[in-house]
Amino acid sequence: MSRVPGWLGRLGAGLTEMGDRLNARRAQAEKDDDFDGGDDFGRSNGTDRGGKDSADVPAVSTANGNGTPPQPPSPPSDTLVAAPAPAARPDPAAAVPWGMRVAAEAGWRLLVLAGTVWVLMRVISAVQLVVLAFVAALLITALLQPTVARLRRYGVPRGLATALTATLGFVVMGLVGWFVVWQVMENIDNLSDQIQDGIDELQRWLLNSPFHVTEDQIKDIAKSLREAVGANTDEITSAGLEGVTVIVEALTGILLTMFSTLFLLYDGKRIWQWTLKLVPAAARPGVAGAGPRAWRTLTAYVRGTVIVALIDAIFIGLGIFFLDVPMAVPLAVFIFLFAFIPLVGAVVSGALAVVVALVTQGVFTAVMALLVVLAVQQIEGHILQPFILGRAVRVHPLAVVLSVAAGGMVAGIGGAVVAVPLVAVTNTVVGYLRSYSQEPALRTSPVPRGATATGVAPVEHRPPS
């Protein structure tokens, strides 16, 4: 019983001593902190915290009794150590892989470009008639403008030269259209009888052919065709009613085309100069240089296409005429018109001539007509187009097919006609702008040496001395 108070007393004394030591160490740490802050402030201002000059402050002894510098007090074993600060997080953009960043940058730009193209296509589809009329006027102007320029060189006034050229051009096109309609109306009755005879002959040929086609199968096909026509009578009637609207739109487009052609022939240069004012000043020199080159490309395309189409129509028309195929002249005119749709138009017009020969003159005549069409088209593709069109409007066949398909899907036959010249002009403009942007770099680049100097170095034009 007597030991319990003594044990409690020793425990209390130990706790009291430990608390005193902790207080002393805390006070020493605060004193060291105050001394460091005051020393720094005194060094920067030349005074201590009391306002006295640092020269009046007694120097602190730097050695103990043995002549060695005093050691800093070791931290107590029970002092808490502060945790290290967390590392700074990297920039989120730097944490993304480089390839993904490039893909994202290209992706949103492509999305903006696709949205712009979509809006542009929506606007064009809303005013499709106006756009097609203006593009047709550009094509006709490219065909007629050299005649205006030639008349101007002969001293004819600009207004009179424009009126003469436009009147002559529209009269010729009108006569061609009237001739086609007249020939079709004159031969439609005879053609229907020949088609019926040809169908009967084709039926007899199928019965005796190695394809083993039976008469019941032929009757089933004919019955299905009659049922299809009878079932779609309402749609055919509505299409006939819509034909009135189509005629009105066609007349409107023709008037817009004639009106636009007149002004482009008469005042095309000033229209182009006004268009250049809409371009930003920084890009105006490049666009001003690309415009004439684009116009030369369009002019070369229209001239070459007209010559090639005319040659195709003459030779194929002569071939089917000597084969006694009816309506040879209207078919030749159709071949001429369809030649303005590259690749696709030649196939469609040639197939039309072969089908007419098949149903009117029989299988042998159709085979001969097919040989004539293929021979003329081969000559066209390998000789006429490279020689006449040249490198000015050279477009890859894949680009031609894709552009014709896209133009046909967007704007029908008119879109298919203007697709290829649009691609050719775009190719010329992009190529010129790319070379134009590289000219400053070529001027500042060092002059190449050796065998490549002639082909690489920019040509320096010097005035004659």
Give mean pLDDT, residues 197-218. 69
Q: Which has the higher per-residue pLDDT, 195 or 258?
A: 258
pTM above 0.95, yes or no: no
pLDDT tens-digit readout, 337-360: 888 877 777 788 888 888 888 877
Tokens of 196: 């019926």
pLDDT tens-digit readout, 405-421: 888 887 777 777 888 88
Give mean pLDDT, residues 330-341. 83
Q: Which has the higher per-residue pLDDT, 67 or 24?
A: 24
Do residues 332 and 317 touch, judged by C-beta distance below 8 A?
Answer: yes
Q: In angstroms, rounded to a whole number, what is the distance separating the alpha carbons of residues 83 and 85? A: 6
Q: In angstroms, rounded to a whole number, what is the distance separating the alpha carbons of residues 280 and 285? A: 10
Do residues 337 and 360 touch, judged by C-beta distance below 8 A?
Answer: no
Q: In angstroms, rounded to a whole number, what is the distance separating the alpha carbons of residues 377 and 347? A: 9
Which residues have CB under 8 Å from 350's CB, separation 6+?
316, 335, 370, 373, 374, 377
Widest CA span in the chain? 147
Q: In angstroms, rounded to a whole number, what is the distance separating the alpha carbons of residues 402 and 423? A: 10
pLDDT at 87: 63
Q: In angstroms, rounded to a whole number, what is the distance separating the alpha carbons of residues 120 and 126? A: 10
Q: In angstroms, rounded to a whole number, what is the distance separating the alpha carbons of residues 286 and 430? A: 10
Nearest to 161 by CA among 262, 22, 285: 262
pLDDT tens-digit readout, 250-278: 788 889 988 999 989 888 888 888 988 88
Do residues 455 and 449 touch, judged by C-beta distance below 8 A?
Answer: no
Asked if pLDDT for residue 115 goes beyond 60, the answer is yes
Least confident segment among 177-186, 409-418, 456-465: 456-465
Q: In angstroms, rounded to a whole number, what is the distance separating the alpha carbons of residues 403 and 398? A: 8
Asked if pLDDT for residue 1 goes beyond 50, the answer is no
Three-state SS string across the chain, please? CCHHHHHHHHHHHHHHHHHHHHHHHHHHHHHHHHHHHHHHHHHHHCECCCCCEHHHCCCCCCCCCCCCCCCCCCCCCCCCCCCCCCCCCCCHHHHCCHHHHHHHHHHHHHHHHHHHHHHHHHHHHHCHHHHHHHHHHHHHHHHHHHHHHHHHHCCCCHHHHHHHHHHHHHHHHHHHHHHHHHHHHHHHHHHHHHHHHHHHHHHHHHHCCCCCCCHHHHHHHHHHHHHHHHHCHHHHHHHHHHHHHHHHHHHHHHHHHHHHHHHHHHHHHHHHHHHHHCCCCCCHHHHHHHHHHHHHHHHHHHHHHHHHHHHHHHHHHHHHHHCCCCCHHHHHHHHHHHCCCCCHHHHHHHHHHHHHHHHHHCHHHHHHHHHHHHHHHHHHHHHHHHHHCCCCCCCCHHHHHHHHHHHHHHHHHHHHHHHHHHHHHHHHHHHHHHHHHHHHHHHHCCCCCHHHHHHHCCCCCCCCC
Look at the block and give the residue holding tokens 């009637």: 237
Asked if pLDDT for residue 424 goes beyond 90, the answer is no
Tokens of 187: 């031969």
Count of other CB atoms within 10 angstroms of residue 266: 18
Q: In angstroms, rounded to a whole number, what is the distance separating the alpha carbons of residues 307 and 385? A: 9
Task: Give the amino acid at 455.
Answer: G
Q: How far is CA 149 from the centre of its chain?
A: 34
Counting Cα atoms < 13 Å in the Cβ hemisphere of 76 gives 12
